[in-house]
Amino acid sequence: MATGGFSFWRALGWLVLAAAVVMAAVTAISLVVALNHLPGDLLVTVDGEQVDLHALQAGHWFLAIGGVVLATLIVLLVVPMALLLGVGLPLVLAGLGLVAALLATALALALVGSPLILLGLLVWWAVRPRRPVGTAMPAAPSAPPKVPVVGQHTDNATPFA
C-alpha cells in the first residue's frame, strides 16, 4: 500500500481525530466558563459529605475538567464504535448468510430443473421462426471505390490549369 497518496480511510481517521479534539476543547471551555459562574454558597453532597467547590485548588479543577473531557470523548467515540461492532457487524453477517442461503437454493433449483430447462431450450429452437435464406444482408465492400484523379492540385486558391 502506498503511503504518499490520498486514502479515504486515512482522511476519515484524521477527520474523526480532529472532531474528537474539537469536542474535547469545546467541552473543556464550556466547563471552565460554567464553573466560573457558580453561586458562592454552592455545596455538593457526596455520600453525606459536603464539598465546597470554591475551596478546591487549581489541580483539583484540572483533574475534574480532564475527567469530564475524558468521559465526553468516551461517550462520543467508544460507545458508537461498540454499537457499530456489537450490532452492525452481526447484522451484516446475518445478511451475508441469507444471501449465501438464497444462492445455494438457486443453484440447487437450477441443478434439479436442468432437464426441464434443456427441454424448454430444445422446444424453443424447434418452434422459433426461421430466417429466410435469400434475404441475407449484402457483404460490406472491402475497400472504397476508386475515384478518378483529374487536375489534382494542393492549393485551393489556384484554379485548375
3-state SS of the chain is: CCCCCCCHHHHHHHHHHHHHHHHHHHHHHHHHHHHHCCCCCCEEEECCEEEEHHHCCHHHHHHHHHHHHHHHHHHHHHHHHHHHHHHHHHHHHHHHHHHHHHHHHHHHHHHHCHHHHHHHHHHHHHHCCCCCCCCCCCCCCCCCCCCCCCCCCCCCCCCCC
- Give the pLDDT confidence score for residue 87 in this predicted structure: 92
- Give the pLDDT confidence score for residue 43 in this predicted structure: 82
- Give the pLDDT confidence score for residue 131 in this predicted structure: 74
- Give the pLDDT confidence score for residue 33 in this predicted structure: 86
- Give the pLDDT confidence score for residue 107 in this predicted structure: 94
For residue 110, give every residue at least 6 positions away whose Cβ sits within 8 Å of its Cβ, in sequence order, or none. Answer: 117
- Give the pLDDT confidence score for residue 108 in this predicted structure: 94
- Give the pLDDT confidence score for residue 78 in this predicted structure: 87
- Give the pLDDT confidence score for residue 77 in this predicted structure: 83
For residue 56, give every residue at least 6 positions away whose Cβ sits within 8 Å of its Cβ, in sequence order, or none. Answer: 64
C-alpha cell at 86: 456489537
**Residue 38 · residue 53 · CB < 8 Å:** yes
- Give the pLDDT confidence score for residue 156 in this predicted structure: 59
Per-residue tens of pLDDT for the chain, all 161 residues: 556 678 898 898 899 889 888 988 898 898 888 878 888 777 888 899 888 777 778 888 888 888 888 998 888 888 888 988 899 999 999 999 999 999 999 999 989 988 888 898 899 989 988 876 666 677 777 777 777 666 655 555 555 55
Domain ranges within the chain, ordered by starting residue: 13-38+51-127
